[in-house]
Chain A
């Protein structure tokens, strides 16, 4: 009984003794002679969006100019705050120049982010951002997401009708903000009646199941506001042979197929997405800040918005990709922040022959 315990103690004491001698470098040498080391610390990889987000990050790292300037690494934490916190501590020990984070908790990484900042490491968080002020954040405005989709529905319905809200995962900042934005708009239009509000957990299968369960008890529905899992909600309406309401939803490829008429019945809708390329924008911001090409400062990028029925295959809708795919892994239009090819999102391989240019806009 005592021997292993003694051993444990010795290891601990030894460890602390050697410890005081070796400290991680106080400030990382910013690209001295070599490539910058930038790591992506992602909270979990359990859904399509996260896979695309990591794939476009890997693809960007393998494309010029990043190929020659940045040495990238990627870590996943299984949605566990303490695991992610450990990984970031280890990145600090490795002496990376920058850490790009999609956090398991908005607040749970504050302690370790502070430690990274203290050592001169540039921390950029995106999507699920870290709220510690020493880090930089890149995100979209989630309140606006809710407002914009709700306003579209209100306009389409001429200001009156029954609306259903399918929300996301409760307790997350994004869900809270999206719902808040939508409710503001619906409340400002007395003709709009929210007849049901339930969570689709940002998942098409769950959204379909819950919607199918709710539909029999619902009156005529004129508009549906979906925070995520839009194609699932449409399928539930189609299965129940209900008349197709107006949809304001996320950027699922399946939803866009319904909008384009590739899947029937064609639906009228507006599709706004949280773009997976946020990881690439965060990478560019980290690079620019480390290279002192840009001041430290938070960045809000506009949503890629698609509406109407004129969708471009290969750009805003992808007929040969699954419904669950997020079609907004690349921006489109003349003011595109960046343009990526299909294989960057599906396989994480670089777009052949292309040089990536990420337009951050003026700070």
Chain B
């Protein structure tokens, strides 16, 4: 049963993928085509990246609300500068820096993550509006072709890179320390884990992921909007929840959050092809979340009872 909680993200993803396949095929009389898969891949990539960063923070028992602000700011800069490779590097570094600020305040200032990141969310969103007061901007066509090509699944390569990054990270000493801090901070400190440094780093990584997501966002949409990041706050947290990462920290996997992010995107398509009245679509999206969370909690409860 403990396994079920770990695999929640994959199970939910498999279920939604099957449902998507079924409703699409019954609705249109043919299975989804390469156009559909590519469109899903390209529109999901930003959320996948933000969810990945968010899950790292949640694994240490924190939360990062500022992802919305970092995405907005980085979208604004990328779009305003046209996304030349030099600027992309600068944007990614800036994202990491924004995250690091969060991490330093949380770790050394000992201010609750929810307060810290709520404050920086406002700051970063404000900066985004300052950079790009009106939606617009552009992206170098070559960057678009490499990141989110509408005809070739280049996104798969980047997705694989992100998965590989997590796979390696989890096996490093730092990866172990993330889990240690999330499971029991005091115990981790007692065995010599540099808790502050670990925390500062996960927030910086979350900022980095948000910045990368922003670059993907601009590449997919070909322009920027200073309010682009706002939806990612809730959807990234929802992905983490659906992915079976425990909010108490120390349990779950970033891959679960990635699966959760893809599942959340597929739910939109399932509702679309199932012909649900648009007025009730958000109701069903919410129900989906509730069911996923209940599944996770139920699995955790069962596991505890069995252990007792």
Residues of A within 8 A of B (CB): 1, 4-5, 7-8, 11, 15-16, 18-24, 42, 45, 74-76, 78-83, 85-87, 89-90, 92-94, 105-112, 114-115, 131-132, 170-173, 176
Contacts and interface: CB of A to CB of B under 8 A. Distances in A.
B7 A22 contact: no
B221 A24 contact: no
22 contacts: A1-B7, A4-B11, A7-B10, A15-B31, A15-B32, A19-B34, A22-B33, A76-B281, A81-B228, A81-B231, A82-B47, A82-B231, A82-B265, A86-B39, A89-B36, A89-B40, A106-B223, A107-B221, A111-B150, A170-B129, A171-B133, A171-B226
A107 B135 contact: yes
Most A C-beta atoms less than 10 A away, residue of B7, B31, B222, B259: B222
Given A11-B14, A82-B231, A93-B32, A176 B133 contact: yes
B134 to A, nearest CB: 5
Contact of A93 (B18, B33, B134, B225): B33
Given A45-B278, A80-B235, A131-B135, 4 more contacts: A15-B21, A18-B32, A85-B221, A89-B39
Given A45-B279, A82-B47, A11 B17 contact: yes
Contacts of A132: 222
Contacts of A111: 42, 148, 150, 220-222
Most B C-beta atoms less than 10 A away, residue of A16, A21, A131, A176: A16
Contact of B33 (A24, A94, A108): A24
Interface stretch (B113-121, B189-197, B266-274): B266-274
Contacts of B13: 8
Contacts of B224: 107
Nearest to B277: A74
A269 B139 CA distance: 45
Given A76-B278, A82-B46, A19 B37 contact: yes
A42 B21 CA distance: 25
A78 B281 contact: yes
A22 B136 contact: no
Report whether over half of chain A's contact residues are helix, strand or loop; otherwise say mixed: helix
B272 A87 contact: yes
A110 B223 CA distance: 7
B257 interface: no
B143 to A, nearest CB: 13
A8 B13 CA distance: 8
A80 B231 contact: yes
B282 interface: yes
A94 B28 contact: yes
Contacts of A16: 34, 37, 153
Interface string B69-89: 000000000010000000000
Contacts of A170: 129
A83 B221 CA distance: 13
Contacts of A75: 272, 278, 281
Interface in B131-177: 133-137, 148, 150, 153
> Which 3 A/B pairs are nearest by Cβ-Cβ distance?
A107-B223, A4-B10, A19-B34
Most A C-beta atoms less than 10 A away, residue of B153, B231, B235, B255: B231
Contact of A106 (B10, B11, B136, B148): B136
A112 B272 contact: no
A175 to B, nearest CB: 9
A19 B36 contact: yes
Interface string B1-29: 00100110011011001100100100110
Contacts of B235: 80
Most B C-beta atoms less than 10 A away, residue of A11, A87, A93: A93
